[in-house]
Structure 1
């Protein structure tokens, strides 16, 4: 055997192996269980593969476009639906989401070409359906699913209890709450079902005979809020509501303060009145006792007291330059003539000389 030809055979074998690998790569392809494939021949879809496995294709003529088989999630994100008026005149902003999947990869590539094209189709039709449905219903239908009675933290009456169990009811104008004006006929879940049906119909081509190769699994609304102008107005109204509550507490406190002051003043007046009454009683008792003692003293001293009082009266009357005109029968004249004339003479004993 000629060993000089071995390198040439090895080179030919290596080249042949490379050619086989390239040919196999051009003719064979594998479909994973999480994906599906569409065979394109000169750019037109000719076949689809939805089951995992090893498949053949014509080399250099056909190409494989792989598509996800799993569920796809789309969310509006920052691209919210703005300035959407409801049937009752409320302007809101809506953030939506959708779950969809590719059911017919060949039809999908024929109509939408790529996954990004499919998301764009879902987005456009979902936004349109949400706008059409929400504008036809009241806000309470969109945000509520049942007509159960709603409860709130704030009531129409603010009850303030004082330390003496005095209850003061302060009226407060409550903030109007959306979604409480009537009964819920459909609710949010049924409205979203209606949106899903409209999107499913819009995904099909006109006439509904050809499917675009995608299926809408579920749609929903992640967030609903008022437009900025309404949010600002609602904030100002809520602030006014809280200020009214604060004013209610303040007024109740002032009222309670005035009640305490009035009660204190009444108690002080009562104590002062009782003290004045007791003082008058004590003074009256002292005056009565003084008068009684004076009367008793006058009764005991008799004429001597009367004489002393007369002298005191004359002393007061005759001070300074005083001119008196006295009659002959005046007691003062008799007193001036004889100090004993004003008193009753005492009987003197008479004696006879022997």
Structure 2
């Protein structure tokens, strides 16, 4: 009897442990009865099962990242690019996931999902040019791929939460083509700038020449006006001086005439001494 009691206690403990199971916050669970799924809606916490008749299989309910190896894609203009991308997915229907993947084999799920996304991505790249797949259209393309994937992976009991391209690299052939095109575009742009520069230079030169002609004309006009005003003022001064003392004015004008006539050392004048030109030379007073 003493031996039987410990045995019963051990059996009771084992049966008790086999009768409970815990579902974590990050898990989802399936309960089987002799290999048949009888429940798949467990919430996190402590749950019970019938020992030896029921068994429980748990799956991670968190997002799973499928990091795809870089693959070559062909764009609409037949240019090959190497695309590095990843997918985030999770189990949405554990029963369907279990039955469609041969007992919840994650390798099978990843393989099927990768093939679907690879084909969808190839189709989307084939419909777009290189500039489009690296522009804002890439976000729309990713959303389209995610929507199409979810329409088909529902049979696997999973859902795709995100598809993202990490990097797009050009192949050597495409790089050479892109660099050649960029060089051609830069050359055309530089030639256009030079042409515009020459055109602008000619415009500036023509405008400068026009302004020079205008300034010279205005300067000559002002100089002529000032000379005229000066001559008029000089004439006025001479006239006033003549009116005040005509004799002195005549004498002053004669001296200016003498200075102008005898300015050189070799100047010779043959004039009658009685001419009016020498009338101030004969005056003794």
Structure 1's consecutive aligned runs of 4 or more residues displaced over 3 angstroms after TM superposition are 41-44, 228-231, 233-238
Aligned to 2:171: 227
Aligned to 1:22: 14
- Coordinate RMSD, CA, aligned: 2.6
Aligned to 2:83: 94
Kindly tell me the number of residue pairs found equivalent between the two proteins.
183
1:38-63 CA distances to partner (integer Å, 9 max, x unpaired)? Answer: 12334332211431122222322322
Aligned-partner Cα distance in 1 for 2:147–2:23: 32
Residue among 117, 140, 147 paired with 1:197? 147
* Structure 1 spans left out of the alignment, 5+ residues: 1-7, 146-186, 206-211, 246-354
Aligned-partner Cα distance in 2 for 1:128–1:30: 40
Residue among 63, 67, 72 paired with 1:75? 67
Aligned-partner Cα distance in 2 for 1:116–1:228: 34
Aligned to 2:258: none
Corresponding position: 1:214 with 2:158: yes
Contact preservation (8 Å) 1:196, 1:219: yes
Aligned to 2:97: 108
Contact preservation (8 Å) 1:97, 1:221: yes
From the superposition, tell whether residues 81 and 19 of structure 1 become closer, same or farther in structure 2 (CA, over 3 Å): same
Contact preservation (8 Å) 1:45, 1:109: no
Offset at residue 25 of structure 1 (A): 2.5
* SS in structure 2 of the partner of residue 216 of structure 1: strand
Offset at residue 99 of structure 1 (A): 1.0
Aligned-partner Cα distance in 2 for 1:44–1:118: 21
* Structure 2 spans left out of the alignment, 5+ residues: 188-285
| Greater radius of gyration (CA) | 1
* SS in structure 1 of the partner of residue 141 of structure 2: helix
TM-score normalised by structure 1 residue count: 0.47
Offset at residue 93 of structure 1 (A): 1.3
